[in-house]
Amino acid sequence: MDFAAMGSDIFITTNPCCPHTRTLVFDTETAGLTMGPRPPVRLIDTTTFTMAAGGMLYALTHRHVHEQHSFEAMSWAPMDKDDPWPSPTMRWSWKSVPSSPPFAMDDVITSYALHPDGHTIFMSAHSYHHLPKGTFSVDTRTSEWKLHGDWALPFHGQAYYDNGLDAWVGLHNDGYICSCEVASRSSGRAVEPEWKVTKEKLFHKDPERRLACLAYMGDGSFCLVESVLREGVEFKCAFGDRDGCVLHMSTFGLKYDRRGQLQTTRHHTNSFVVSKHLQTFSPVVFWM
């Protein structure tokens, strides 16, 4: 299953490879669940990441290695007159962003973040051979792409802007939380932003065991959700109705100490024994 969020809505695609599967839309304000048409063919089994910006949901797609990336945008728009769906005059619809992403066919997006301006998305790419390719940005208002340098943002996946730190915050590959100076939007190559990691390890460092997701809750608070195997349970016996996994839910804040080091505050963790049927299913957490 694939999840994405925008505004008060969570979008769930349960089986994008099936041509008749609808998209589920859960409204967190009304607790209502509605159904919409399936994603367009160009988005099926292709999405690299999704991010909300300026009232639209953007998706960078990459179907397979050796196929070109595309950049798509979803918005709440009027229905076409010849649209077969009944009644409502508005619906969620996708369209391709005019300018193509400046990525090679073998590039992989490893980290991304929304600039505090609310409409510029930064993303770092690595080549197929895991070599840093560079950090790029796109202005979602103009569809203009810029290269900022041959360095990469120090995160794994999505990072969030924390106003108190005036920095992006995300998951570092070694199991730590990382803060990074917000990159400049100016054109031309820029110096790699400074970044720091916490001394305390907040999630499992083994990528084969770690399935973690970070969300920013505002006011300097974060939520980290991580799924790990239960201690003493063999990997081959962990899945199914066996309570073979543990779900850790941590909330915390961040601050810089007197020496400028990044440290956690108000750290609290709850853990729950859970069953997990698919190894590839990762916990997803949103804050709205």
Where exactly are the structural domains of the chain?
A: 2-206, 207-288
Residue with the larger pLDDT of the pair 29 and 229: 29
> Does the structure show a pLDDT above 90 at 215?
yes
With contact defined as beta carbons under 8 Å apart, do 270 and 249 qualify? yes
pLDDT attached to residue 232:
83
What is 2-206's CATH number?
2.120.10
Cα 161 to the chain's mean position, in Å?
Answer: 13
- 67, two tokens: 């196929």
Q: Mean pLDDT over residues 167-185, rounded? A: 93
pLDDT attached to residue 188:
63
- The enclosing H or E element of 79 equals none
**Size of the chain, expressed as the number of residues it contains:** 288
Angle at 137 between CA 7 and CA 9, to 5 degrees: 10
H/E/C letters for each residue in 85-134?
CCCCCEEEEEEECCCCCCCCCCCEEEEEEECCCCCEEEEEEECCCCCEEE
pLDDT digits (tens, 9 = 90+) for 153-165: 999 999 999 999 9
The pTM for the full model equals: 0.87
- 48, two tokens: 């690299």
Q: Mean pLDDT over residues 263-268, rounded? A: 95
Average pLDDT along the chain: 84
pLDDT attached to residue 49:
85
pLDDT attached to residue 161:
97
Output the DSSP codes for 24-75: EEEETTTTEEEEEPPPPGGGTTTEEEEEEETTEEEEEE--STTS--EEEEEE
pLDDT attached to residue 155:
92
Q: How confident is the model at residue 181 (pLDDT cuts 50, 70, 90)?
A: very high
Which candidate, 154, 186, 152, places its Cα nearest to that of 167?
154
Q: Mean pLDDT over residues 254-283, rounded? A: 89
- 172, two tokens: 């570092």
CA–CA gap between residue 22 and residue 13 (Å, rounded): 7
With contact defined as beta carbons under 8 Å apart, do 238 and 245 qualify? yes
Q: Tokens 């909330």 correspond to what residue? A: 251
pLDDT digits (tens, 9 = 90+) for 100-150: 888 888 888 899 999 999 999 999 998 766 666 799 999 999 999 999 998
- For residue 142, the 8-state DSSP code is T
> Does the structure show a pLDDT above 90 at 223?
yes
74 C-beta neighbours (distance < 10 Å), count: 21
pLDDT digits (tens, 9 = 90+) for 62-74: 766 566 788 888 8
